[in-house]
């Protein structure tokens, strides 16, 4: 069974860059899209973007100017960078496999707080 | 952008009862591109339904999805104690590629 695990700092200072990695186990990354989604505390879900295993990306237009998603299939992981963060970027960040227009396997999520 | 509206916001029911959750889109959604998720406190969302009506792997048959165009429904035929959670619908295809509804909370009456 596919498993995903997010990792990265839980605290980021305002104006700095948030960096997270999602490690995939139990299956190859090939032929799939891989997404990042976030959820502010007590709020709903927001899709950030995805990357194809070969490197093509699509981002949410609301975040596009600040987001970079990359992939390293040799290490079975993909990464998120979100620049110039503010308190509004405080959220639980999830990674997920993307298939058939849905998100079928999710990581457990990691809380990132933006604060000085 | 396609906006998804879910109703009711909260549904208070007892175990054994039937739950009917609605998801309405501001524009027509391709049926193949409508999904439902369940989220319990402190957990990641879990895919229940994709393609509007296909159950994801391991999902019990008490969960069913239906609908087309702008109106979609998730039905839980008989609520089990573990079904009390928040449910989100999601569409794919209109920019941004994925959008979610605000959720319906199913709680114990």
pLDDT tens for each residue of A73-85: 999 999 999 999 9
Pairing verdict, β B19-29 and B46-50: unpaired
Q: Coil, strand, or helix at residue A88? A: helix
**Statement: residue A56 has pLDDT above 90:** yes
Q: Which residues of B touch A46 (CB under 8 A)?
A: 100
A42 → chain B, closest CA residue: B41
User: CA-to-CA distance for A26 and A9, rounded, in angstroms?
Assistant: 25
Residues B94-107, mean pLDDT to the nearest whole number: 94
Is B37 within 8 Å of chain A by CB? yes
Q: How much is the CA Rg of chain B, to the nearest whole Å? A: 13
Is A57 within 8 Å of chain B by CB? no
B29 → chain A, closest CA residue: A101
Q: Which band of pLDDT confidence, cut at 50, 70 and 90, is reported for residue A7?
A: very high
Q: What is the mean pLDDT of chain B?
A: 96
Is A41 within 8 Å of chain B by CB? no
For residue A63, the 8-state DSSP code is T
């Amino acid at each position: 069974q596919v498993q995903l695990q997010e990792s990265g700092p839980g605290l980021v200072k305002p104006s700095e860059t948030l960096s997270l990695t999602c490690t995939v186990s139990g299956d190859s990354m090939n032929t799939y899209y891989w997404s990042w989604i976030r959820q502010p505390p007590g709020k709903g879900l927001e899709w950030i973007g995805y990357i194809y295993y070969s490197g093509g990306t699509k981002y949410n237009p609301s975040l596009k100017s600040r987001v970079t998603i990359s992939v390293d299939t040799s290490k079975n992981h993909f990464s998120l960078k979100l620049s110039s963060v503010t308190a509004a970027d405080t959220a639980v960040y999830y990674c997920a496999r993307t298939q058939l227009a849905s998100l079928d396997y999710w990581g457990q999520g990691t809380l990132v707080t933006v604060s000085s | 952008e396609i906006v998804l509206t879910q109703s009711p916001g909260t549904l208070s029911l007892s175990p054994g009862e039937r739950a009917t959750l609605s998801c309405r889109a501001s524009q027509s959604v391709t049926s193949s591109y409508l999904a439902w998720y369940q989220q319990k406190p402190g957990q990641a969302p879990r895919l229940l339904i994709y393609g509007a009506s296909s159950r994801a792997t391991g999902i019990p048959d008490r969960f069913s999805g239906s609908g087309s165009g702008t109106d979609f429904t998730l039905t839980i035929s008989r609520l089990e104690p573990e079904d009390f959670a928040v449910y989100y619908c999601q569409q794919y295809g209109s920019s941004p590629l994925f959008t979610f509804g605000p959720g319906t909370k199913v709680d114990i009456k």
